[in-house]
Structure 1
Amino acid sequence: MASAAEQLAANMNFGSFQKASELHKRIWFTILAMVVYRLGTYIPIPGINSAAFAQAFGGQSQGILGMFNMFSGGAVERMAIFALNVMPYISASIIVQLMGTVYPPWEKLRKEGGEAGRKTLNQYTRYLTVLLALFQSGSIAMGLQASPGLVDNPGLFFVISTIVALTGGTMFLMWLGEQITSRGVGNGVSLIIFAGIVAGLPRGVWQMFEMTRTGALSAFAMFAIMGIAVAVIFAIVFVERSQRRLLVQYPKRQVGNRMFGGDTSFLPLKINTAGVIPPIFASSLLLLPATVMGFLANANLPAWAQWVPGMVGQLQHGQPAFMVAYGLLIVFFCFFYTSIVFNPDDTAENLRKYGGFLPGIRPGKRTAEYLDYVLTRLTVIGAAYITLVCLLPEALIGFYKAPFYLGGTSILIVVTVTMDTVAQIQSHLLAHQYEGLIKKSKLRGGGRGR
């Protein structure tokens, strides 16, 4: 027999969506925030020679800088105020979460601090975001200034204005993402990256057709890329909806002459517990040093820095160094982020507290060990799935020089964020229907009382 929640979910339709006024406000707020973000990607920082920069960027558009441009919604190729996007914030989140597992005071805040500890760590993340954004924007300003012809009036004023513009853009996007999360629908930071990728998809598809028309890309390669993209979408949807359900039993309790309990439920464990975070984190860490080196590659470098262009060349798509580093980082963050979002010890303790147990497994430590064993096996499968999804299309695109927007990483982010946003909309509709039922029951109760 279906539960009350399942019955409500089955009865959700367009009529129930029309009545959810609070959800309408959240959706409109999210749309307006995305419009503001897209407008910011077209506002250039002052002092840039647009024609010279476009020519310099074109020589690196197929490398790591092109991937950065994809995540920023084209802001890098226009050197807009949102060129850094939310990547410094993501890098800061990685560092704070890593420190939260190895630095005892922060580990105590994460585990025992509750809501106050979470807010403190979030504040540390913001402070670190400012520092990283200052470092990256300063490096970009110096790199732009060192490249002949890219800056109209190089000097101290250009460096300061570039640092202020890029850092301010990142801090605004960080604030905008937090506002979307609290007042809109979906995860704000993920939606900002999602909007940047989706905005470039039509152009990416058009570029691929143009390459096929001019003979730069064969028809077979075009259909192969499109076929792999469709197969990757199906694989992502299938795996993201897959779960390992562990049976949980609750013992019967006798209260007076009546028996209570004896129910069974399921503990769902996703195959990909980390979601879309691993490729985003891995891309962010690869982009952090490569962005600076990408700009310095065109500059007049001293003899001791002549290794920079070679290193930049190794970070191009399809190069073994890039593929190996990207794959290893994805696998690492799959296990790392899974260990953060799911704690077997806490889950086992909660089951014991409420009288639940796994059949054949003793409550407490043995249950935690079993959960950790199952979760590790699932994470191995999930890490292999994400790595294949991200690397196979990226290798094909790197070989054929096709647009990044049809790569595995971009498809994974778009599909996963879409599924997460739709799930949140459904949860808001479900909550609205619950509120309607509660109001009706109160009105009926009041009528009977009179």
Structure 2
Amino acid sequence: MIASIQNIFRIPELRRRILFTLGMLAVYRVGCHVPTPGIDAQVLAKFFEGTQGTLLGLVSAFTGGALERMTVFALGIMPYISASIILQLLTVVFEPVERLSKEGEQGRKTITKWTRYGTIVLSVIQGAGIAVGLQTMRGPAGELVVPDQGIGFILLTIITLTAGTAFIMWLGEQITERGIGNGISLIIFAGIVANMPSAIVNTLRLSTTGAISPVVLLIIVALMVAVIWAIVFMERGQRRVPIHYAKRVVGMRNYGGQTSHLPLKVNMSGVIPPIFASSIIMFPATVANLVDVPWVQTVASMMTPSHWLYNVFFVAFIIFFCYFYTAVTFNPVDVADNVKKQGGYVPGIRPGKATAEYIDTVLSRLTFAGALYVSAVCVLPTILIGQFNIPFYFGGTSLLIVVGVGMDTASQIEAHLISRSYEGFMKGVTLKGRHG
């Protein structure tokens, strides 16, 4: 492992990208400890002590504790994700946006710009809801979380939280462009990983006090290893559709006659569905938890991870986004046309429309299996909390994101290493057709 790390840091470009990524993530973690003005941090901490194992505790875990401390990054990257969901939905139901998405690089830049504007709008709305909700929060003894209330505090909180989300969005884009890996995913990854050491320490402390027996602790560790293995196995799983290429005779030579395959992953959408599903469920439920109205509190109690209705909606949203995101990113018709143009065909299937229908059928079955797997992993925390009384969200969306983002980042590092190796192989080699 040490030798591999040394090989990675011997490549100047890759070393710069990794160090830049680590630097940007460090800046993000520093921002997670800068408090929002006008809030009594001690009273707020007492209020959040009772939210462990609830929706607010889960939101705080996604933001790396920024929401619990009500820092400038309290909204996290969720407004950006919500804006991305809206734009991707519009590409399906709104024809002008759909045309724009097919205009190549220029269309992508326009959609990215609209996503940024949408992020600011959603940040203002969510910031206003949090500011109003903070003024109604009280500690165990009835002390106010916001001592000096009024319109000034609301405006200051909106500006602070919106600026924090905009800065996180900029950090994510910089990591994607100049670092290694997907910036937005790595920011979420950093927020989740930051809470893991304290969660592990709390679990070990409970085991020493007898709250969790050693047998249960061993079962938890074994289950954790099994779930990680299952995630890695499923994320690498794929169905290979065979593609044959017909022989062609050009002059005195034969071309074609080769056999290849079309790899279709079991989980084509990756970690996007649970992130999108969590974002949609968190937005209304978080606002509901901050508003002291009886019927709103009833809805909030139904939309907590311990309630069966929450899990039903969560699974439904995951399945929907698995199909939706796969449909947006993978077009069977285009793939079938490209295979046909290259003289390829699926054995026993006519080229063209029939091939597109066959690929779509295979992909739909794979997506259903992948959606069930993602749903099973994401509802695992509820089972652990209910059966073993574990005080933190082990597994679920957090573990899926951590393992998925880790594998994706490792793959990109490997791609840089392979590219570097190819450059080394090509040194001193003269290609056919090149003349002095």
> TM above 0.5, one fold?
yes
Shift of 1:18: 4.4
Aligned to 1:113: 103
Aligned to 2:376: 388
Higher RCO (CA < 8 A, seq sep 6+): 1
Cα distance per residue 1:353-376 (max 9 Å; x no partner): 211111111111001000000000
Aligned to 1:368: 356
Normalised by the length of structure 1, the TM-score is 0.91
Q: Structure 2: which 5+ runs fail to align?
A: 139-143
1:229–1:393 contact (8 Å) kept in structure 2: no
Between the aligned partners of 1:341 and 1:173, the Cα distance in structure 2 is 25
Shift of 1:407: 2.6
2:381–2:393 contact (8 Å) kept in structure 1: no
Where 2:127 maps in the other structure, the secondary structure is helix
Shift of 1:168: 0.7
Q: 1:14 to 1:309 in 2, by over 3 A?
A: closer
Match 2:200 to one of 205, 228, 234: 205
Match 1:37 to one of 21, 28, 32: 28
**Residue identity in the other structure for 1:423:** S
Shift of 1:129: 0.8
**Residue identity in the other structure for 1:152:** P
Normalised by the length of structure 2, the TM-score is 0.94
Aligned to 2:123: 133
Match 2:79 to one of 82, 88, 96: 88
Q: Within 5 Å, which residues of 2 pair with 1:18-167? A: 18-110=9-101, 112-148=102-138, 149-167=144-162
Aligned to 2:269: 274
Where 2:68 maps in the other structure, the secondary structure is coil
Between the aligned partners of 1:13 and 1:436, the Cα distance in structure 2 is 18
Cα distance per residue 1:49-68 (max 9 Å; x no partner): 01111111112232111000
Q: Structure 1: which 5+ runs fail to align?
A: 1-11
Range moving further from structure 2, 287-296 or 340-349? 287-296
Q: Within 5 Å, which residues of 2 pair with 1:265-344? A: 265-296=260-291, 301=292, 305-344=293-332
1:178 paired to 2:166: no
Q: 1:308 to 1:45 in 2, by over 3 A?
A: same
Aligned to 2:346: 358
Aligned to 2:402: 414
Instruction: Return structure 1 stretches of 4+ with deviation > 6 angstroms.
Output: none
Aligned to 2:141: none
1:226 paired to 2:224: no
Shift of 1:15: 6.9
Between the aligned partners of 1:47 and 1:226, the Cα distance in structure 2 is 42
**Residue identity in the other structure for 2:134:** L
Between the aligned partners of 2:196 and 2:7, the Cα distance in structure 1 is 32
Shift of 1:218: 3.6
Between the aligned partners of 1:294 and 1:81, the Cα distance in structure 2 is 20
Q: How many residues align?
A: 429
Shift of 1:351: 0.8
Between the aligned partners of 1:22 and 1:123, the Cα distance in structure 2 is 29
Between the aligned partners of 2:61 and 2:281, the Cα distance in structure 1 is 14
Shift of 1:14: 6.1
1:47–1:158 contact (8 Å) kept in structure 2: yes
2:52–2:392 contact (8 Å) kept in structure 1: no
2:53–2:393 contact (8 Å) kept in structure 1: no
1:29–1:184 contact (8 Å) kept in structure 2: yes
